[in-house]
């Protein structure tokens, strides 16, 4: 059975109030959730029609509430917020670029470390016409036996059975003597 009444008390912060029925019955509790979702807030003095239900504790409350004095409009739904470029990207959107950067860096590093040095041109000048060198092949074969990058380079290019170019890039003793990028 529908009852007509007036909203006499309303606590907007807490979302509830009381309706005084027009037939003189005691006040009835009303919650914001039973009001129409039309974008209008309840106001004290507003005329309402409703049904009464009793909850499991025996208290009466309003349900199926209508506001006959409000204009019949479609419910106003808030617009969905627009996504901005500043919003956080998804986890996948952050990880994929990171993997691309790592892959490019590792490819570049691999190409840099495995490049081959240009091979010296075979000279048609005989051994007795070459410029005199302060170094001579004397049986030394390891970097620990050298005293400079120039000496290690001479031994690598001119002496047999040397073991000074572990990565075969034409630069000897890279960790001891020929550490400069200009030594290549």
Sequential DSSP letters for 108-125: HHHHHHTPPPPPPPPP-S
Q: Domain 3-66's class?
A: mainly beta
Angstrom distance (rounded) from CA 136 to CA 126: 17
Q: Which residues does 35 contact at the CB level (< 8 Å), separation at least 6? A: 42, 65, 67
Q: Are 170 and 179 in contact (CB under 8 A)?
A: no
Q: Which residues does 114 contact at the CB level (< 8 Å), separation at least 6? A: 167, 169
Q: What is the mean pLDDT of residues 6-26?
A: 92
pTM above 0.85, yes or no: no
pLDDT band at 133 (very low <50, low <70, confident <90, very high): confident
Return the higher-pLDDT residue of 44 and 178: 44
pLDDT of 100:
92
pLDDT of 122:
60
- Domain locations in the chain? 3-66, 135-179
pLDDT of 177:
67
Q: Is the pLDDT of residue 103 over 90?
A: yes
Q: Is the pLDDT of residue 131 over 70?
A: no
pLDDT of 77:
61
Q: What percent of the chain has pLDDT over 70?
A: 78
């Amino acid at each position: 059975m529908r009852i007509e009444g007036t909203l006499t008390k309303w606590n907007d912060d807490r979302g509830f109030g009381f309706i005084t029925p027009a037939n003189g019955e005691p006040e009835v509790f009303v919650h914001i959730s039973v009001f129409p979702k039309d974008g209008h807030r309840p106001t004290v003095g507003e005329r309402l029609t409703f049904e009464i239900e009793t909850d499991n504790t025996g208290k009466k409350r309003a349900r199926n509430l209508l506001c006959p004095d409000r204009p019949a409009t479609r419910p106003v739904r808030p617009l969905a917020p627009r996504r901005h470029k500043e919003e956080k990207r998804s986890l996948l959107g952050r990880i994929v670029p990171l993997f691309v950067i790592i892959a490019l860096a590792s490819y570049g590093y691999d190409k840099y470390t495995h490049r081959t040095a240009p091979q010296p041109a075979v000279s048609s000048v005989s051994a007795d016409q070459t410029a005199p060198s302060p170094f001579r092949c004397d049986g030394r074969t390891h970097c620990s036996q050298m005293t400079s990058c120039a000496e290690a380079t001479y031994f690598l290019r001119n002496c047999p059975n040397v073991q000074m170019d572990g990565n075969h890039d034409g630069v000897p003793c890279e960790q001891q003597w020929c550490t400069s990028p200009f030594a290549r």
